[in-house]
Amino acid sequence: MEPLLQKLETQLAALPVPVAIGLPRGRRLGPADAPVRLAFQDWSGLATFAAGQIGRIAEDYVEKRVEIEGRMRDVMAAAAALLPGSPVASDTSWWTQVLRRAKSIASHTPQKDAEQIRFHYDVSDDFYALWLDPRRVYSCAYYRDAGMSLAQAQEAKLDHICRKLMLREGERFLDIGAGWGGLLLWAAEHYGVHGTGITLSRNQHAHVNRLIQDKGLQDRVKMLLVDYRDLPEDQPFDKIASVGMFEHVGLANMPAYFGKIHRLLKPGGLVMNHGITAGSVEPGQLGAGMGDFIGKYIFPGGELLHTSLVLRDMAVGGLEMVDVENLRPHYARTLWAWSDALEERLDEAREVLVKTHGEDGAGTVLRAYRLYLAGCAMTFERGWIALHQILATRPDGHMNTGTLRGGQSAYPFTRDYIYR
């Protein structure tokens, strides 16, 4: 054990924040007043710590094999410093890629996707309401001004998307993965569109339909509980948005996903794909156990692709990319806002979760989400993953469509219209 303890002492001395470790038999390492404190039940957990497998340490915390105390921002600063190298590097061997594709195919049948979406989004509406903004917008905010609150930045994001899509009164607008209805209702109320939202979450479906009734928008807005693959294609939409959804589509299904969007979109129409993208060019997941943790406790079946792969699949699907914007640090700030809000209401969050998950289940979910929100904030800050808004068109083939000859779409091929 002495070599392990010596390694631990060396690691603790190099961390950016003081960390104290409680050993299985009562001995302690590190300063007693350290802002971050961990207590391990067995030596295997200490070996995991020494190896920098922070995803496995997170799993041990969720399963109560390790205790972690301290501010989440301090915990994540220490966690990042423990890593032996970049977690973005992935196994790029041909066999690994074959296995990943096979797993992707098996993980993204319509039934599997429905189960995986409900695992995450149907945890508890009341739980999400504790730390999201009042509109329950569960995606990257847009901090147009540094002094914006989370709620203001989320409204700025909704409007940013609507402006990019050039939404006009009376247009048919589709929101794929509409969540709790933030974008769908914003587009209807502020831009006068006829909106259709879809989701696989029963909770979100019921919530948005209540809002539609309360707002008297039944004649212009509808929310459907349906898989995107099952949407009819006989009445194409003028504009389409997909926000925080394509992360659930899967590597194997990505060409079919964009092909479906192409068929759902009118010639000359615009589509906005807003989603998390990977730092690694090759398909894979974050190392050091972080990807495994997210897949087990938060987003089963979730897969991230590098922007270059997304653009390739969009092009294969017949869509022309016209604008790409990276909002990575915006998502870091969004996630820290969510994390801080949850940390301020931990007792209330536990009470809410007990109603749907029981005492033990509530503790498991709460511990997982504490590390998930703060951990994701850290990964966006450090550039291990990113968030891209990709605006694309379905070219109509007519040279005189648009403001410039050869535009072949509503897109004006200038960004001026977004910021007017």
- Give the span between the Cα atoms of 256 and 231, in whole angstroms: 13
Phi, psi (deg, nearest 5) at residue 293 = -60, -50
Count of Cβ atoms closer than 10 Å to residue 93 Cβ: 10
Kindly give the pairing relationship between strand 36-40 and strand 19-22. parallel
What the block records as the tokens of 403 is 């403001």
Q: Round to whole Å and give the CA distance between 6 and 2.
A: 6
Task: Give yes or no: 162 in active site.
Answer: no
* DSSP code per residue over 22-76: E-TTS-EES-TT-SEEEEESSHHHHHHHHTT-HHHHHHHHHTTSEEEES-HHHHH
The active-site residue, picked from 376, 386, 387, 390, is: 376
Question: Can you read off the two tokens belonging to residue 8?
Answer: 């631990």
Instruction: Give CA–CA dist 249/99, Å, rounded.
Output: 17
Contact between residue 324 and residue 390 where contact means Cβ atoms under 8 Å apart: yes
Alpha-carbon Rg for the chain, nearest whole angstrom, is 23
Q: In the 8-state DSSP scheme, what is residue 1?
A: -
Structure tokens at 295: 């897949």
| Chain position carrying tokens 């759902």 | 264
Measured CA to CA, the distance from residue 350 to residue 346 in angstroms comes to: 6
Partners of 386 in the β-ladder: 277
What are the Cα distances from residue 275, in Å, to 140, 299, 306, 355, 388?
9, 14, 11, 32, 6
**Residue at 200: amino acid letter:** L
- Residue 234: exposure state from Cβ atoms within 10 A (0-12, 13-18, ≥19): exposed
Q: Please tell me what DSSP assigns to residue 146.
A: T
Catalytic residues, by residue number, are 376
